[in-house]
Amino acid sequence: MNDNKALGFKRQALQKVIEAFDKGTLETAAYRIPHDVVPRNANLDVRCCVYKERAVFRARTLAALGFAIEQDDEATSLNEYAKQALLRKDIPEKPLTVLDIACKGCVKARHIVTEACQGCLARACQTACKFGAISVVNGKSRIDPDKCKNCGQCKAACPYNAITYVPVPCEQACPVDAIRKGPDGFAQIDFEKCISCGQCMGACPFGAIMERSQLIDILSSIKSKRKVCAMIAPSIVGQFNCSLPQLMTAIKKAGFDKVTEVAEGADITTANEARELIERLEGGAKFMTTSCCAAWVQAVKKHLPALKEFVSHTRTPGSYTAEIEKRNGFTTVFVGPCVSKRVEGMEDPNMDYVMTYEELGALFDARGINPAECEETPLDPKISGEARYYGVTGGVAQAVENALAGQRPFKKMAINGLDKKAMLMLQAYAKGVGDFQLLEVMSCKGGCIGGPCTIATQAKVINPIKNLVAESPKVKPAFDDDKKEEK
């Protein structure tokens, strides 16, 4: 499992909120949640006292209710926040929030000289530094933090590996420099830059960054007797200890009226993207990029405008699936592994809510559902194996290639995770560097199976996905009449 103590507390907060909702006590007993989880005699090994641990869990509970910790006045009770959550009509606009009380306030990223320094005669580190930041004191090298530019040349030059880099994990993980320590020393997210990839959330060892959950909104929709459809992303296969048919039954037991595979929409995306690629290449375009990763689309909008003309206009599998289920009269809930889908959901009128795999797991726990004990719901026999492989890096491009078999050969390439190096490469591709006609971009390393809200390791899920793909039919040719875009 992708599990640690920080993730365990996060899931516990979600579970406690769900349990209180189900009991009908959320408005009257939400304030008790931190006390129940952290009793007076709690055995702590991280915080200084039960009171700070309770304050941290209160913040986690706020995020589970869908609120931004940054806007908490600390005087408003959890009961009042719960009441507001039950009454709200609009989902949160900013998908992430920082729990300042849980943030360790990491020191500024820097290079330091360790005790391994031998005070060698060569002074290789001092010679390598172009900024005069290194001096020798008492026979040992010392770095002046005011002069150091963190270029790393001294670290590379040291023959004893005596210089180490101490990062700020969330800052280092962010591909677009959207998170920095504020004046108070705690992390702050610049949402003008943020692409909601969630990499900072996964990198923080204190679990101080969380999504603003839409669970209360989803549970309220189910309770209101509306028809609610859970649209499960292809990467859900293997996330829970059961088969996909068993999981579909478990989701229905959790309260959803219908469960549908987003792979159904992926087959539509494949056909339309394949046609669009041919049209663009015949029109003289250098290449086209995929459009199904929401974080990638946000990255282009905010940081890579030169690539905008190359991004496919084809809609995402989630968008096509939501459109189908909306026509069927359902409130739609996309169930997936990422944070950025929440942004797509706000922009797509057919996608009402977004739930993560972590939240789904908390829902199963709260309602005592073991997916491995559920009967199997038959899968749609028409969905292709290529569509069910969309959640793995290379899967989208492979689906397009297979759909165009015999039409026109092209070269494909995949970006396996957005990081600072990948962002530089993409800028070069906009200028014509690169020998490919279809570029698949996945924000998460490994694809959606590496998303920040997954609950199982990639090693665990890859074989179940491949087995399901092998049992599924091949993708249909892109120019079949029955695969035209849904209007």
Q: Hey, CA dihedral for 412, 416, 422, 426, is it positive or negative? A: positive
Alpha-carbon span 206 to 6, nearest angstrom: 6
What value, to the nearest 5°, has the Cα angle with vertex 210 and ends 207 and 213? 145
Residue 475: pLDDT over 70 = yes
DSSP state of 206: T
- Least trusted range by pLDDT, from 219-223, 268-272, 453-457, 476-480: 476-480
Residue 273 CA to residue 287 CA, distance in Å, equals 12
- 319-349 pLDDT tens trace: 999 999 999 999 999 999 999 999 999 999 9
**Domains 110-166 and 217-483 fall in the same CATH topology:** no
Determine the residue type at 468.
L
- Is residue 486 within 8 A of residue 323, CB to CB? The reply is yes
The architecture in CATH of the region 217-483 reads 3-Layer(aba) Sandwich (3.40)
pLDDT at 292 exceeding the cut of 90: yes
Please report the pLDDT score of residue 389 as a whole number.
98
Domains of the chain, by residue range, sit at 5-105+180-213, 110-166, 217-483
> How many angstroms separate the first and last alpha carbons of the chain?
40
CA dist 84 to 89, 244, 250, Å? 10, 36, 30
What value does the mean pLDDT take over residues 145-151?
92
**Which comes out higher in pLDDT, residue 394 or 478?**
394
Residues 6+ apart with CB under 8 A from 134: 125, 126, 141, 142, 143, 144, 154
pLDDT digits (tens, 9 = 90+) for 188-204: 999 999 999 999 999 99
Q: Do residues 212 and 95 lie in contact, with contact meaning Cβ atoms separated by under 8 Å?
A: yes
- When mean pLDDT is compared over 118-127, 352-361, 478-487, the highest value belongs to 352-361
pLDDT in tens, 52-62: 889 999 999 99
pTM: 0.91
- The predicted pLDDT at position 407 comes to 81
Structure tokens at 283: 């029109």
Binned at pLDDT 50, 70 and 90, residue 47 comes out as low
How far apart, in whole angstroms, are the C-alpha atoms of residue 409 and residue 320?
Answer: 27
**CATH topology classification for 110-166:** Alpha-Beta Plaits (3.30.70)
Q: CB–CB of 33/16 below 8 Å?
A: yes
Residue whose tokens read 């030059």 = 157
**Residue 374 contacts residue 253 (beta carbons within 8 Å):** yes
Please name the residue that has the structure tokens 């004893």. 160
Q: Which of 157, 51, 167 is nearest to 109 (CA)?
A: 167
Cα(165)–Cα(125) distance, integer angstroms: 14
Cβ-proximal residues to 156 (8 Å cutoff; 6+ apart), any chain? 128
